[in-house]
Amino acid sequence: MKRRDFIRKSVSAGIFTGTALSFGGYGKIFANTVNDPELPYDLVAVRDGEPDLMLDKALEVLGGIQKFVKKGQTVVIKPNIGWDVEPEKAANTNPLLIKRIITHCFTAGAKEVYVFDNTCDNWTACYKNSGIEKAAKDAGAKVAPGHSESYYQKVNVPGGKNLKDAKVHELILSSDVFINVPVLKSHGSAKLTITMKNLMGVVWDRRFWHRNNLNQCIADFATYRKPDLNIVDAYNVMTKNGPRGVSKADVVTMKYLIVSTDMVAADAAAAKIFGMEPDQVNYIQLANDMGVGQMDLSKLNISRIKV
């Protein structure tokens, strides 16, 4: 039996202990990290709540959304909306989480909030069937398209090794605040989709990345534009057959949320929740070595919250 199948079946049977999928495992993952409430937290890990409540708890620890969003600012939120599938398959970010983020942004006084993705399937179908379009509009945000090259402008990536330039969506270039909200899931080429991988949805030509060492290009682009905040949706997690997903049977309800300004730290923590070491995901190691962020969780001040 493959390891991922074993994890999924063991969770369903309630016998999988000592890993990220149990509270004991949760403590084990972050056992050797700092937890000093007198210092600013590098990362917040929340578990066992609904997506909106876990977000509330995480932001409270970080000092509130107003620490990141100021009155009169324009905010762009980048979920994963890449696939024309229903929310239960966990190929896209949880719409309830997106709705709550938008609400927080407007509470902080944001002038405008935009939500977009450069989708893989038909963009109108993805926006609708993911549930994200309705959730975003219900919260007062504007849903922007990303399907035309005319929305993208060429930028240089001076820190890149393989990726020297890219066409980036105009919202990323013009907005005051950038919030990156990936869903944690398996990925056939990159092993995992998390924060840095989610940035492929803000560029036009993703095929170049796949042709020129995908993991290196992911790490390269992470040197260009670091989101102001990264929120990893690990409530329902696709454990195999990603990124699009095949069956609801591939999905495990884990009820986690990771929040950090550091993409590398967020991806390292999410990888461990998934059941992998960060250095097993090549782009995490590469980005760490390039100075994008910190993958050694023992060096971080982490708030661990069980709802």
Q: Contacts by 31-40 with C-beta closer than 8 Å and gap 24+?
A: 32/297, 32/298, 33/297, 33/298, 33/300, 33/301, 33/302, 34/298, 34/299, 34/300, 34/301, 34/302, 35/301, 35/302, 35/303, 35/304, 36/301, 37/303, 39/301, 40/301
Note the pLDDT of residue 208. Answer: 96
The Cα–Cα gap between 145 and 117 comes to 7
Residues in the chain: 307
Note the pLDDT of residue 23. Answer: 35
**Residue ranges in the chain modelled with pLDDT below 70:** 1-28, 31-32
Closest-CA residue to 5 (of 189, 250, 208, 175): 250
Contact by Cβ (8 Å): 234, 258? yes
Q: Which residues contact 29 (CB under 8 A, 6 or more apart)?
A: 20, 45, 269, 272, 273, 297
Condensed to tens digits (0 to 9), the pLDDT of residues 80-135 reads: 999 999 999 999 999 999 999 999 999 999 999 999 999 999 999 999 999 999 99
Note the pLDDT of residue 35. Answer: 78
Note the pLDDT of residue 123. Answer: 97
Note the pLDDT of residue 19. Answer: 37
Threshold 0.75, pTM exceeds: yes
Q: Which residues contact 161 (CB under 8 A, 6 or more apart)?
A: 216, 220
Note the pLDDT of residue 121. Answer: 97
DSSP string, 2-43: -HHHHHHHHHHHT---SSTTSHHHHHHHTTTSB--TTS--SE
Q: Which phi and psi (to 5°) does residue 92 adopt?
A: -120, 165
Domain that holds residue 196: 3-306
Q: How far is CA 173 from CA 184, 200, 201, 218, in A?
A: 25, 15, 14, 18
Contact by Cβ (8 Å): 292, 264? yes
Helix axes 282-289, 263-274, angle to 10 degrees: 150
The Cα–Cα gap between 74 and 100 comes to 17
Rg (CA), the chain: 18
The Cα–Cα gap between 100 and 235 comes to 14
- Provide the number of structural domains found in the chain: 1
The Cα–Cα gap between 194 and 180 comes to 10
For residue 284, the domain's CATH number is: 3.40.50.11440
Note the pLDDT of residue 26. Answer: 53
